[in-house]
């Protein structure tokens, strides 16, 4: 199945077409820069996620009103994550295209991305960044993905779950090729969430993470107290399920402590 997807993408985005990207197409709001901006009124930035379902919880909001959700996200978030994986998360590339028309915020494409052509597709769909999961890729694959993102003026959110994942990607942090590090609190094998994962892992590795690297905590964040319990080294949180399952996403985000932007309708 993966080979079929990749072959289709090579047909959709042949090399000659890719080489014709204009400077204006390359320019986009920086995902990294948006998450680096410190807030006076709250310790972290929000990456709000469009997520219809998950492997652990099943359907969350399969019939989501994307327009209404994005309008709320525009009022609170520093970036928006869009799940495009169909089988486990109910997403599609079309969701990314749709969200791009509804916001000026930088978009993160979340999917199982293992080939550079998938990064290129993400850029054409309007993403400013792409998720790469360290556990699913080896060193050469990671380097290829980072290189493709750089070629198309994109950032990579490099996701780790444990110390072995970090050890794998540490050389890329040292070389400055990775500048956004995601720590996922979900165990990939059991799907159980332990919110302490972020702090425990940061205690081990914070001395070897440059201050220029943005740290994102992912999964299991539901309340303001959850956010305040995270290490001061965390720059942003990625929140999906708890917002998407709420009848009023904007109110839920506000209850988590995020401040509504000025002049937001």
Is residue 124 situated within a structural domain?
A: yes
In this prediction, residue 24 carries a pLDDT of 39
In this structure, the number of other CB atoms found within 10 A of the CB of residue 233 comes to 16
Q: Flag whether 265 is in a domain.
A: no
Kindly state whether residue 22 falls inside one of the protein's structural domains. Answer: no
Q: What SS3 state is found at 66?
A: helix
**Residue 48 domain boundaries:** 31-255
Residue 21 forms part of a structural domain: no
Q: Which backbone phi and psi does 141 adopt, to 5 degrees? A: -65, -45
CA distance 157 to 31: 9
Query: What does the block give as tokens for 236?
Result: 């942003």
What six digits make up the tokens of 23?
Answer: 């400077």
In the prediction, which pLDDT does 13 show?
A: 64
Does residue 7 sit within a domain? Answer: no
What is the C-alpha radius of gyration for the chain, rounded to an integer number of angstroms? Answer: 17
Does this model's pTM top 0.85? My answer is yes
Nearest Cα neighbor of 68 from 221, 248, 242, 240 is 248
126, 107 contact by CB (below 8 A): yes
Is 4 part of any domain?
no
The whole-number pLDDT of residue 262 equals 87
According to the model, what pLDDT value does residue 55 have?
A: 80
Q: Is residue 15 part of a domain?
A: no
Q: Which residues of the chain have pLDDT under 50?
A: 1, 22-24
- Ramachandran angles phi, psi of 186, nearest 5°: -95, 130
Q: What is the CATH classification number for the domain harbouring 242?
A: 3.20.20.70
**What pLDDT shows up at residue 174?**
95
* 3-class SS of residue 205: helix
| Residue 264: inside a domain | no
For the chain, what is the domain count? 1
């Amino acid at each position: 199945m993966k080979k079929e997807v990749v072959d289709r993408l090579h047909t959709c985005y042949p090399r000659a077409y890719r080489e014709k990207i204009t400077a204006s197409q390359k320019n986009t709001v920086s995902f990294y820069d948006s998450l680096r901006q410190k807030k006076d009124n709250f310790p972290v930035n929000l990456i709000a996620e469009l997520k219809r379902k998950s492997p652990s919880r099943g359907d969350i909001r399969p019939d989501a009103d994307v327009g209404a959700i994005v309008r709320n996200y525009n009022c609170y978030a520093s970036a928006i994550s869009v799940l495009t994986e169909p089988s486990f998360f109910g997403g599609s590339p079309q969701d990314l295209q749709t969200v791009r028309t509804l916001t000026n915020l930088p978009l993160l494409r979340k999917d199982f991305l293992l080939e550079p052509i998938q990064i290129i597709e993400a850029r054409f769909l309007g993403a400013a960044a792409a998720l790469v999961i360290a556990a699913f890729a080896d060193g050469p694959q990671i380097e290829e993905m980072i290189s493709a993102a750089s070629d198309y003026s994109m950032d990579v959110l490099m996701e780790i779950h444990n110390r072995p994942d970090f050890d794998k990607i540490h050389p890329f942090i040292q070389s400055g090729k990775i500048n956004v590090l995601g720590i996922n609190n979900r165990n990939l094998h059991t799907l159980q969430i332990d919110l302490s994962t972020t702090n425990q892992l940061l205690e081990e590795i914070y001395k070897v993470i440059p201050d220029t690297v943005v740290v994102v905590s992912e999964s299991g964040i539901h309340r303001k107290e959850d956010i305040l319990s995270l290490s001061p080294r965390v720059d942003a949180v990625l929140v999906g399920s708890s917002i998407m399952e709420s009848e009023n996403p904007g109110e839920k985000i506000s209850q988590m402590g995020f401040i509504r932007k000025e002049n937001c309708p």
